[in-house]
Amino acid sequence: MLQLMIIFSIVFLDRITKRLAVVYLKPVGSIPLIKNIFHLTYAENKGAAFSILQNQRWFFISVTIVFIFFAMYYLFLHKNENIILKIGLSMVIGGAIGNLIDRIIPGYVVDFFDFRAVNFAIFNVADCGIVIGSILLGYYLIFISEKDASKVLRK
């Protein structure tokens, strides 16, 4: 149940914020919240992170659908997994679904968070879910999974 709430929350927040970006940011382009540091900037990304692999829409749609299917299958097949693994995977799935919706309907991902101070790529809520979820998955793999595996081996 927690997993579905996380997935739904990320998709919901992503859809709302992207809609607001289309309505309010697209006409003006950019709104500085902290000048030269953090802006809300409307961008249409037809690639992946940092706009790599531009115009590979069907590739991204296919890979994302396969990933979501297998990740959901794993998540619900292994209900007794560590909570950090479940939260991390749920966040990545939610983010993937959010960006998948964009790739299918308008054909590009709407981005709007613009950290200019560090010259970083413009991103969105779905991307935040993917990154935070990936960090949690990395933490689980590095610090927890070995402990969980050793518990199983000792039994």
**Catalytically active residues, by annotation:** 111, 127
Alpha helices in 39-82 (DSSP H): 57-77
Distance CA 72, CA 121 (A): 28
> What SS3 state is found at 139?
helix
71-75: long-range contacts at Cβ-Cβ below 8 A with a sequence spacing of 24 or more? 71/96, 75/3
Q: What is the CA radius of gyration of the chain?
A: 17
* Tokens standing for residue 7: 């997935």
